[in-house]
């Protein structure tokens, strides 16, 4: 009986370790890891299932909630990068 309990404990530990490794891969090494978004949505399917289960919410309102702030942050980061590049060019050329 002890060997069965030990086997189940090892299987449970292996499953948890696998899930943690999978989450780490999805957040940092996946080919879509660079795309901005909620980390919970990147790791699991539960975030999408939660929004699918709510009859009062639709996909359009979910997109409005999630993409607006990320789009603004992205545009701000791009604009800041362009400003820095222009400053470097001005310093190099003396204009």
- At 1-10, the pLDDT tens digits run 679 999 999 9
- Residue 95: DSSP 8-state: -
Closest by Cα among 70, 85, 7, 64 to 39: 70
Q: Tell me if residue 6 falls in helix, strand or coil.
A: helix
Rounded Cα–Cα distance for residues 90 and 43 (Å): 43
Instruction: Look up the pTM and report it.
Output: 0.49
pLDDT digits (tens, 9 = 90+) for 52-95: 777 665 555 555 556 666 667 667 777 887 888 888 888 888 76
């Amino acid at each position: 009986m002890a060997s069965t309990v030990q086997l189940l404990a090892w299987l449970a530990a292996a499953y948890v370790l696998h899930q943690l490794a999978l989450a780490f891969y999805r957040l940092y090494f996946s080919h879509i890891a660079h795309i901005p978004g909620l980390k919970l949505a990147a790791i699991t399917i539960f975030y999408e299932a939660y929004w699918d289960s709510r009859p009062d919410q639709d996909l359009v309102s979910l997109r409005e909630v999630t993409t607006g702030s990320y789009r603004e942050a992205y545009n701000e980061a791009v604009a800041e990068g362009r400003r820095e590049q222009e400053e470097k060019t001005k310093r190099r050329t003396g204009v």
